[in-house]
């Protein structure tokens, strides 16, 4: 398998994870929209979900405008998935919160890998 094919598959998988994350966040927004007095939370979750979808769809343009766009997205997804996991735990759900916490941890791992990879690239370009 060529490196180009591997990169395309990796990009496809990465986009898929962002879309799934956005879906989960929007679904939590729908859940909050049905709860009296929680419309503000619902709107925030909807907005974050839409931002992740737009960021994924237009990431090439966003990366040109914001140097470490991908890092910001990973941080946003990690924080929001942690909050969603907390809310599921608070609601007394049985296991779903652990999936959210695992997803948040994976986004943190992806952030660390991205940052370390970027620092290695910039270190090689300074010599």
**105-122: buried (b, 16+ CB within 10 Å) or exposed (e) per residue?**
ebbbebbeeeeeeeeeee
28: tokens are 């939590």
**pTM for this predicted structure:** 0.84
26: tokens are 């929007």
From 101, 106, 115, select the one nearest 71 (Cα to Cα). 115
Helices within the chain (DSSP H only):
3-33, 39-57, 59-65, 69-90, 96-126
**Where do the domains of the chain lie?**
3-126
Per-residue model confidence (pLDDT) at position 125: 43
Q: What is the mean pLDDT of the chain?
A: 90
| Least confident interval from 16-30, 73-87, 108-122 | 108-122
């Amino acid at each position: 398998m060529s490196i180009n094919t591997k990169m395309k598959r990796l990009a496809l998988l990465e986009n898929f994870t962002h879309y799934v994350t956005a879906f989960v966040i929007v679904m939590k927004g729908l859940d909050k929209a049905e709860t009296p007095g929680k419309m503000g939370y619902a709107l925030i979750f909807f907005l974050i979900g839409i931002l992740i979808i737009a960021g994924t769809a237009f990431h090439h343009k966003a990366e040109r405008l914001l140097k470490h766009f991908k890092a910001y997205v990973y941080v946003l997804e990690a924080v929001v998935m942690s909050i969603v996991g907390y809310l599921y735990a608070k609601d007394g759900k049985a296991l779903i919160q652990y999936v959210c916490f695992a997803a948040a941890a994976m986004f943190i791992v992806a952030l660390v890998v991205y940052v370390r990879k970027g620092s290695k690239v910039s270190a090689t370009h300074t010599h």
